[in-house]
Amino acid sequence: MIMSPTQPDIIVNIAAYKFFRWDRLESRRDELKSLCKRLALRGTVMLSGEGINLFLAGSRESIDAFLAHIRNTPELADLPIKESITDYQPFNRMLVKIKREIIPVGIENIQPVEDASPKISPKQLKQWLDEKRPFALLDTRNDYEVELGTFENAIALNLKNFREFPKAAAALPDEVKQQPVVMFCTGGIRCEKIGPYMKGLGFNDIYQLDGGILKYFEQCQHSHYQGDCFVFDQRVAVDPTLEASDICECFACKHALTPDDMLSEKYIPSQSCPYCYKTPEEQQRLRLAKRQATIRKIASEQRGSTPYENKRWISIPKRSAGLPLIDALCDFYPGYSREQWLEAIATGEIQSPIAIKDSLQSRPVSAEQKVREGERFLQRMQNYVEPKINPEIELVYEDAAIVVLNKCAPLPMHPSGRFNLNTLESILDAAYYPDKLRSAHRLDANTTGLVVYARKYSYSQFLQSQFTEGTVDKVYLATVAGHPDWDEIECDLAISKEPAPGGGRCIDVNGSPASTRFRVRSRQDNITTWIEARPLTGRTHQIRLHLSSLGFPIVNDPLYLPGGVARAEPDPDLQNKPMGLHSHRLSFVHPVTKLRVVFER
């Protein structure tokens, strides 16, 4: 028999569940899925080793055919059904799913089949209420369900979801637990599942309403009940006559809405309602919090610290043209010793890729071969492990144009030297995918503080031009060794254009002009000084080198010593610590609003 997909005038809605032990779930799922499709039914059927739970809607003929089929299973011959009628189909699709539990509670080893609480019929509950018999009514539903309606004087637990029930029930006072308690829910399934657990919480006399509120409505209508009952289909709620009420559901948060709720200015169809509406400021805070959590999660994974194959392209700059390869490599990354580069060449780690018939292949290289400007080599490092980084990155601000971060340390901004995946760039690439952020400036790996990124190339150009032209107001805070005999000073020492051995710079009268203003903020008892630094130009290592040249190197600087002297190689221990240098304040013109914005940390 193939049922017609044409919508009938009357739709029969059924809800049913039963706890019992059964198996062959995959074959049962396939069988029921085929049956429901043939009968043109919609809804959900959940199967589990602990039983079945279903909500279905369709024509009378289809529903009767479905029930006749499943009642051929001996365990389902007496399956109790709750039924109602609508003039429309309340479900959008048909799902048959296998679940670990047909109603999740979050507690192991509950056996509702063997250890269920005794049931009280709707008519018996009405009689107890009519007689004003002393007992407690316990509503086990979520708060948004309770808001629509519940029994008079029922105890509500303010649950956001049913998994909160065990803890909330355990917290009920002893005077409640020591009297008869009748639990109730929409259809009875939650109470039947939680009943065995309740006995262990000290409830001396615990019952469950047989068939839940829906069965009570069927037999007793509105007596002792105030409001409607939330149901999990397009009807949203039914009244005590089991007719669909005038309650709607918020598209965004799924909260039930009364007609008065929909008159609120906070009700925006398909967007928000009075229960989930957020001001633009609140929405911004939520977006920041969500993105912040994503960034921290990715950074905490320390992806580069798990062994992997690290591929690094080496492009020969103009200054190295004509040099032997070994000399060019030492110039490219002085953090590697000459011996390390020679070993990399000898073991084939350094390769010269060539294109052969539309494929990229490699050929061996020698340490003494001469290199050309723009020539590229590939370094392939097997089982590479990067040093760990500080993952405590703070997202300060973001909009459609810029992202401002408070960078921690040690954390390099870009892949270089020992780092590739454990870099701020790689972390942000993953956090903002598929968008690609572009840094407008840079901070050293061991420097903390504010850094700004652009979300489009044009915005990046606009920001970078401000840094290049010196129109960005930058303030750094530095902790230096020693107590200067000055309170304010401006240093105008020129800085070398090319890196020195070890990767640093040096003071060079023929170098690039550089100027930094310093002001003492406070002198500390431990022979350190807190200094405000305002760089008027933007040279590499400018603040560090100027303070070092003045005789007051920054605390934990792995490279610079007093007198402007740079170490031959960075101190490996200090490379794993934050320097006493912090990017405290940035002020620049926003690329979209064209207004000056200020950020401080």
Active site residue 185: yes
Q: Where are the alpha helices (DSSP H) in 97-255?
A: 112-115, 122-130, 143-148, 165-170, 174-177, 189-199, 212-220
Element (H, E) at 364: none
E-strand stretches of 60-144: 82-86, 94-98, 119-120, 136-139
Question: Which residues does 73 contact at the CB level (< 8 Å), separation at least 6?
Answer: none
* C-beta of residue 439 within 8 angstroms of C-beta of residue 425: yes
Q: Is 84 exposed, middle or buried (0-12, 13-18, 19+ CB in 10 A)?
A: buried
* C-beta of residue 187 within 8 angstroms of C-beta of residue 15: yes
E-strand stretches of 484-556: 488-491, 516-523, 528-535
Element (H, E) at 464: helix 457-469
State the amino acid at position 325 in one-letter form.
L
* C-beta of residue 50 within 8 angstroms of C-beta of residue 81: no
Q: Is 469 exposed, middle or buried (0-12, 13-18, 19+ CB in 10 A)?
A: exposed
Q: What Å distances lie between residue 471 and 188, 453, 476, 477, 591, CA to CA?
A: 69, 17, 16, 19, 14
Q: What Å distances lie between residue 295 and 92, 428, 452, CA to CA?
A: 37, 7, 15
CA distance 275 to 273: 5
Which residue's structure tokens are 């700059």?
317
**Residue 162, Cβ neighbours under 10 Å: how many?**
18
* C-beta of residue 490 within 8 angstroms of C-beta of residue 517: yes
Joined tokens for residue 557: 């600087």
Beta bridge partners, 139, equal: 156, 184
Catalytic residue among 185, 220, 248, 491: 185
Give the up-direction half-sphere exposure of residue 315: CA atoms within 13 A in the CB hemisphere.
Answer: 4
Classify the C-alpha dihedral 215-219-220-226 as positive or negative: positive
Catalytic positions are 185
